[in-house]
Structure 1
Amino acid sequence: MLLGQLLKSVGKNYQKIRVRGICFDSRKVKKDYIFFAIRGQQTSGINFINEAISKGASAIISDKKAKHKNYQIPLIVVNDVRISLSEACSNYYKKKPSNIIAVTGTNGKSSVAHFFYQILKLNMVSVASIGTLGIFFKNYKKKTNLTSMDPLSLHKNLQILAKNKTNNVILEASSHGLEQKRLDNLNINTGIFTNLSHDHLDYHKNMQSYFNSKLYLFRHLLKKNSKIITDEDNQEFRIIKKIANKRKIKKITIGT
């Protein structure tokens, strides 16, 4: 593929760069891969640009804070490396199941995902679930390291499921995954909110930041004509209802 096919906003000078793979781990770079230099909490991909180049990377995608050096290959600056990574992965692995559901909340994500999977499976409907417990598909089970996989693994596995004629997938959407844009560039049909309680404040610092990471699913990732399912007895329902009304998203509620 060409870089212009993966990142639509890339400049004309870079559109015809050959891409044979996508990577954000410099140790896994191969010839003609594009390397996304992601900034993490502990370290930054910028520190590994030279390693990626030495292994044959055809281009580097970095953010505005990257220091411009005289690299041997193009260094392309974007506003958000994580969003660009999700976009590239989505375009590289084009096939997706037609019905993607994402469930978020402090507790209950795994239970909801597994119940959904079991109900459809018992009714002979093609279905898969992806989350803390792993990937479940027919008689296949694969362990995953994260509740919400990195974009490269996620889109790759979704394409595998689509090629196996799996039309329905339910994903667990963790606050970390949403905050880090791992679920961007997916056509999510339904968003489910379970609840909110104190958790992950070492990462999100405060409850409002934590809640906002959950709301990212409903504010930005749900496509047109999608649905929100939640408990109207939750104290967070008022805010979720407001988002649904503003975006003209159908609400399906449970509760008293």
Structure 2
Amino acid sequence: MLSKKIKHLKYQNRNFSINSKKVNKNDIFFAIEGSKQSGSLYSSEALSKGAYKVITSKNIRNKNYLIVKNVKKFLVEACSVKYKEKPKNIIAVTGTNGKSSVANFYFQILKNLKINSAAIGTLGIFYKNKVKRTNLTTPDIITIHKELNFLKKKKIDNVCLEASSHGLHQNRLDGINFTAGIFTNFTQDHLDYHKNLKNYLQAKLYLFSSLLKKNSFAVLDTDIPEFSIISKICNKRKIKILSFGSKGNAIKLISHYYFGKKQIIKINFLNKIYNIKLDLIGDFQIKNLFAAILASYLSEKNPDQIINVLSKIRSATGRMQYVGNKKKSAVVVDYAHTPDALKKSLQTLAKQFNKKVDIVFGCGGDRDKGKRYKMGKIANQFASKIYLTNDNPRSENPTSIIKQIKTGCSRAKIILDRKIAIKTAINNLNTESNLLIAGKGHENYQIINNQKKYFSDQKVSKLFLK
């Protein structure tokens, strides 16, 4: 029944839209019911702009409207028909932290193996030697189908995309045939949206409980608490498991040690021992790399070739990224914006360089307020000098955000201007400490009073490291 309705739309030379403000003449507008606003409120605006048809669930008897039971479900099916041609291997990675690194490592591995591939997520769409910027970690339904179709036309058959909890919960990835799903880890984040950890986890698990099909793959870490629940889902749904960790069936870490900015590891990969030197900061990057190796293995079944290119892998932009040093003290920029990520970044920097860690950070406005005190407490426990500054306050009062963080670290110095905070931290850096600039990572902007302005932690740091 749905496919008949899709044919009646004469969709071939028409664009789909879910935003009435961006509707052009002859577009098909899908009036989706959102969590805050109803798409049907914008139907008349879409028609006034020349929309060919409005897809609605409302009982409107008019030739300009097509009535369906579920607009979002209909849109998924319409996108699946219109953008039918997609890459053969599409892998989704979900989890609280590490998604961008996994997707980026996957892209780097296959690129070094001269296999056409792409990564889609927070950092943008990477393919061949190009980057397309995106606004969301997981693009909207139309954009994701359209971009996958575009990549296929570019002869790309291997894609790793980030599956955010928002994207999964809002069904943005429905209708895509996934080869595999990766689960990195799970800790507190996005409770402003999900309200509690149970809802947040359920959104993540949707990838395994609903989207992955029989005989697809799940790439899992055996050492995380969620491994048992995900493996039960996979066994029930006949999804094959490729795992890493202390009980991994594909990769086991035998030994690990630091060598300056590098890490030396010995692993058992599919019953063969390998020694690898990695140019990566942060022990948790090893787990991200393991996930990327197993995802790459689904595209390139030669373990030796995969291992041979690992020494060429570099950290993704703003992910434990070394930006320079002052008197042999390293300055590292990281996206850590959750309590768990902040703790791990501080711990691993201290461990890798055997030094104290100073920190510059803040918390985003209009987001999960419950993590502010926790992040302050973590900085108080694991950092040496603490500089509290603006992250992206958005519409919130910056001073109010900083005060909430400071309840967990009363000894912190407050410098609201992020540029001055970074300058002060670098000027005060001594040979006994390294500096972590946390929270914004790859972002090249700051949002204060809902005004967006250019700002880059990396560029500002380099300015004061000269």
TM-score by length of 1: 0.89
The CA distance in 2 between the partners of 1:162 and 1:235, in whole Å, is: 37
Alignment pair present for 1:76 and 2:67: yes
The equivalent residue for 2:224 is 234
Cα deviation, residue 193, structure 1: 0.2
Q: 1:25 aligns with which of 5, 19, 29?
A: 19
Matches within 5 A, 1:56-205: 56-63=50-57, 66=58, 68-79=59-70, 81-205=71-195
Cα deviation, residue 225, structure 1: 1.6
The CA distance in 1 between the partners of 2:137 and 2:231, in whole Å, is: 26
Q: Report Cα offsets for 1:83-110 as digits up to 9, x if no partner.
A: 3222211211121000000000000000
Of 38-47 and 221-230, deviating more is: 38-47
The equivalent residue for 1:16 is 8
The CA distance in 2 between the partners of 1:247 and 1:97, in whole Å, is: 23
Matches within 5 A, 1:14-53: 15-19=7-11, 20-53=14-47
CA contact 1:59–1:76 (8 Å) conserved in 2: no
The equivalent residue for 2:424 is none
Q: Report Cα offsets for 1:16-72 as digits up to 9, x if no partner.
A: 233322111112223432211122243221111111122333332233xx4x34545
The equivalent residue for 2:426 is none
Q: 1:252 aligns with which of 217, 230, 242?
A: 242
CA separation of 1:193 and 1:85: change in aligned 2, threshold 3 A: same
CA separation of 1:91 and 1:102: change in aligned 2, threshold 3 A: same
The CA distance in 2 between the partners of 1:30 and 1:224, in whole Å, is: 40
Q: What SS does structure 2 have at the residue aligned with 1:78?
A: coil
Q: What SS does structure 2 have at the residue aligned with 1:49?
A: helix
- The share of aligned pairs that are identical, in percent, is 54
**Cα-Cα RMSD:** 1.7
CA contact 1:104–1:193 (8 Å) conserved in 2: yes
Q: Report Cα offsets for 1:92-132 as digits up to 9, x if no partner.
A: 11210000000000000001111111011001111100000
**Unaligned segments of structure 2, at least 5 residues:** 247-466
The CA distance in 2 between the partners of 1:236 and 1:26, in whole Å, is: 40
The CA distance in 1 between the partners of 2:237 and 2:84, in whole Å, is: 26
Q: What SS does structure 2 have at the residue aligned with 1:30?
A: coil
Matches within 5 A, 1:202-217: 202-217=192-207
Q: Report Cα offsets for 1:141-179 as digits up to 9, x if no partner.
A: 011000000111111111111111111000000000001
Structure 1 runs (4+) greater than 6 angstroms displaced:
none
Cα deviation, residue 74, structure 1: 2.6
Q: 2:209 aligns with which of 203, 214, 219?
A: 219
TM-score by length of 2: 0.50
**Unaligned segments of structure 1, at least 5 residues:** none
CA contact 1:59–1:74 (8 Å) conserved in 2: yes
Give the counterpart letter for 2:8 in structure 1. K
Give the counterpart letter for 1:77 in structure 2. V
The CA distance in 2 between the partners of 1:103 and 1:9, in whole Å, is: 34
CA contact 1:18–1:32 (8 Å) conserved in 2: no
Q: What SS does structure 1 have at the residue aligned with 2:137?
A: coil
Q: What SS does structure 1 have at the residue aligned with 2:16?
A: strand
Q: What SS does structure 1 have at the residue aligned with 2:109?
A: helix
The CA distance in 2 between the partners of 1:92 and 1:215, in whole Å, is: 28
Q: Report Cα offsets for 1:202-233 as digits up to 9, x if no partner.
A: 11111111111011101111123200011111
Q: What SS does structure 2 have at the residue aligned with 1:228?
A: strand
Give the counterpart letter for 1:185 in structure 2. G
Q: What SS does structure 1 have at the residue aligned with 2:68?
A: strand
| Structure with larger RCO (C-alpha < 8 A, sep 6+) | 1
